[in-house]
Amino acid sequence: MTGSTEHTEDTQDFAPHPHIGGRTAALRALAAWRGAAPGAPRVVVLTGSSGSGRSRLLTGFLMLCEPEYRKRLPLHEMDPSTVPPELPAPAVPTADGLTAAQGLWLLADHFELDATSTAEVYTELAALDEPVTVVVPDVDRAGPVRATDEPARLVREVLTPLAATETVRLLAEVPRPLAVELASGLADVLPPGTVQVIDLDEPEWADPVGLVLHAQAALNPEFGAPELPFTVDPAARLALGAAIGRRAGGSPLVVQLAVHCILMAPEGFDPADESLLPTSVGEALDLHARRLGADPQTLRLMLAPLALAEADGIPAHLWARLASAVAGQDMSQAFAAGMLLAGPFVQPEEVADAEDQQEGNTRTLLRLLHPGVGDEIRAGLPNVRAAQTQIAMTLLEAVPEQDWGRADPYVRDHIAGHTLEAGLLPQLLTDPGLFVHADPVPLRAAIEAVPTEELGAPARTYLRTAPMLTRTEAPATLRAALLETAFVEDGLPEYADAIRSRLGVELPWQTLWSLPVVGVSGVTVGSLPRPEGPAVSVAVLAVPADTPGAHPVGEAGGENEAGRSAVLVHGLVRPDDLGDAAPAPDPTLIVRPTEEERAAAPLGLSRGADYLRVWDRASQEVVAALISDVPFTAADLSPDGILLIATERGAKALRIGSAAPAIAS
């Protein structure tokens, strides 16, 4: 299934692609795929080692596929065989940070498919009248948590069935081990010639001339390099660039690291000594450290937290602290020496500070220059799990007084990923503060990676509620409301109490009780007179006749018996308001609110197919909006603001407050 597109025409008279600067053979193959040329494959798997340049190649190719962007490229100067025909832009559902399912639904949305399940997505794609073109980049970066192996899931659950769908022309950028799995699996189900693997590390796709040109351009002051003897002298610059490209072993990443190390710390570098030029990522690290008089292991330990980081990188202020934790010793002296040692391998990024609402405030995140550097660092760690344990413990210590609401956003949102790889996540999942304040997308992904039997009851409740949290993108107050109700429903009142009392979050309601009774078809609020004292507020639930404790309604006996229904009477505010006396209260004695009483109540209730809204009659503002992962079957609102709800799970009562709009399930 592998092979290059043969082309013997001399390319020296053509201008290179301005972004790629080479890779002619690969570009020809991709252009043939895009144009559906005779004999071209329907599925192309672009792969190579980490740092082989596959992402850069794919980015450059997509520039040629996007109608507006290609207008800015010198197409008339480029090799015509590398330029795909002008066609509508392909669908590009990026995998970066997404789950396999999210990536598939991005695709379904792009093509406006009327699908309600993943299986239907493929069925509808197969039924299309015209073929569609799909490009999936960054498969290696799939998933909100690094340790969950989402790239493999994406390949098996999305790319494989996509490739098997005859109406889909697919190009996917895949790490080599998964590319081998994908290609071999498709070989058993697709005709020969359907799939082509372009492995950029193979000689037929190699680009040694392009590597040299990249090195020489990176050394050129015209493109931002500092003015040094071997950069301003054209002959010296070309010679050094040729040596860097020759030594790099076909890896664009090694070329990039070699140039970075030289330009960031040129003192002591002899351009005539090729032994100072790296042949691998690991050698780039070690040579740079030795040239600066440092222990290579010190550099690797400094970079270890970045190699184990989640998402977009770790906050700059935590870097030295985490490195010391991994090293098991104080690393402050190494960091005091400045960024010359670690700088060539680190990429800082200023991001908006979501915690500080003042316009223009940013925070600095640090990540490695390339994932390939992270692969090298992790491979050199004696025990990744132990390193993650030290990082996790240090992050926990950084939470002020264990108040997750005050924790650094990185600590709060990504500690689950570190504890997952450390094997400690189940022990962490006992704090409702973490459930409320952490970003639910990575937290949910991390918890789903733990076997269910290892999770405690609070974690199982969170996992049940998580789809609601992620779907609504609920902020912390709304997450607290959802979880408070869920804990009551699942018989964990102490966790609901903790959310109400310990977290300092003003909830828009309090869940008074939850009753797991099946088959509730109607609910109403009312009051039950007592011989002495005030009447008791009650909830009346219409339930099946065989429900324990229910009071039959309707005439008994004969042909009416099978159709009889029943009601269950429950204290509206507290379950014990009715006491333990038997028999059950007579429902005929219950007094329902009059229409006048309901109209005079301060709160009103609106109901749709999948939502409930409670609104303030005076201001007409919604004070609580409720949705559910299972349909509502009934709802009623008492004049004093207690909402009675029924779903297929049972019934519950919420005392509505006057807080901001919120969502509950």
Which pLDDT value is given to residue 8? 39
* CA nearest neighbour of 173 among 150, 132, 141: 141
- Per-chain mean pLDDT for the chain: 92
Mean pLDDT along residues 163-171: 97
Which pLDDT value is given to residue 472? 82
Please indicate, yes or no, whether residues 139 and 274 belong to a single structural domain of this protein.
Answer: no
Please indicate, yes or no, whether residues 274 and 315 belong to a single structural domain of this protein.
Answer: no
For residue 404, is it within any domain? yes
Tens-digit pLDDT profile for residues 249-271: 999 999 999 999 999 999 989 99
Contact partners, residue 558, CB within 8 Å, separation at least 6:
none
Please indicate, yes or no, whether residues 309 and 246 belong to a single structural domain of this protein.
Answer: no
For residue 534, is it within any domain? yes
Residue 167 near residue 122, CB atoms below 8 Å: no
For residue 71, is it within any domain? yes
Mean pLDDT along residues 85-94: 96
Please indicate, yes or no, whether residues 224 and 323 belong to a single structural domain of this protein.
Answer: no
Residues in the chain: 665
Tens-digit pLDDT profile for residues 305-323: 999 999 999 999 999 999 9
Please indicate, yes or no, whether residues 246 and 326 belong to a single structural domain of this protein.
Answer: no
Q: How many domains in the chain?
A: 5
For residue 13, is it within any domain? no
Mean pLDDT along residues 575-598: 81
Please indicate, yes or no, whether residues 164 and 48 belong to a single structural domain of this protein.
Answer: yes
CA 370 to chain centre: 19
Phi, psi of 142 (to 5 degrees): -65, 150
Tens-digit pLDDT profile for residues 352-385: 876 655 566 889 999 999 999 999 999 999 999 9
Q: What is the CATH number of the domain that holds 296?
A: 3.30.420
Please indicate, yes or no, whether residues 233 and 314 belong to a single structural domain of this protein.
Answer: no
Please indicate, yes or no, whether residues 570 and 593 belong to a single structural domain of this protein.
Answer: yes
- Alpha-carbon distance 178 to 181, whole Å? 5
pLDDT surpassing 90 at residue 459: yes
For residue 18, is it within any domain? no
Tens-digit pLDDT profile for residues 538-566: 999 999 999 998 888 866 554 445 556 89
Which pLDDT value is given to residue 357? 53
Please indicate, yes or no, whether residues 187 and 229 belong to a single structural domain of this protein.
Answer: no
For residue 335, is it within any domain? yes
Residue 329 near residue 390, CB atoms below 8 Å: no
Please indicate, yes or no, whether residues 130 and 228 belong to a single structural domain of this protein.
Answer: no
For residue 11, is it within any domain? no
The structure's pTM equals 0.90
Burial class (CB within 10 angstroms; exposed 0-12, middle 13-18, buried 19+) of 368: buried
Burial class (CB within 10 angstroms; exposed 0-12, middle 13-18, buried 19+) of 343: middle
End residue of a domain, out of 199, 228, 248: 199
For residue 246, is it within any domain? yes
End residue of a domain, out of 173, 199, 225: 199
Please indicate, yes or no, whether residues 42 and 185 belong to a single structural domain of this protein.
Answer: yes
Q: In which region does residue 399 sit, left (phi positive, over 0), alpha (psi from -120 to 50) or beta (all else)? A: beta
End residue of a domain, out of 199, 220, 242: 199
The token pair at 429 is 């999942």
The sign one gets for the Cα dihedral 349, 353, 354, 360 is negative
Q: Domain span at residue 220?
A: 208-279
Query: Which residue's structure tokens are 């290892």?
Result: 454
Please indicate, yes or no, whether residues 425 and 498 belong to a single structural domain of this protein.
Answer: yes
Tens-digit pLDDT profile for residues 517-546: 999 999 999 999 988 888 999 999 999 999
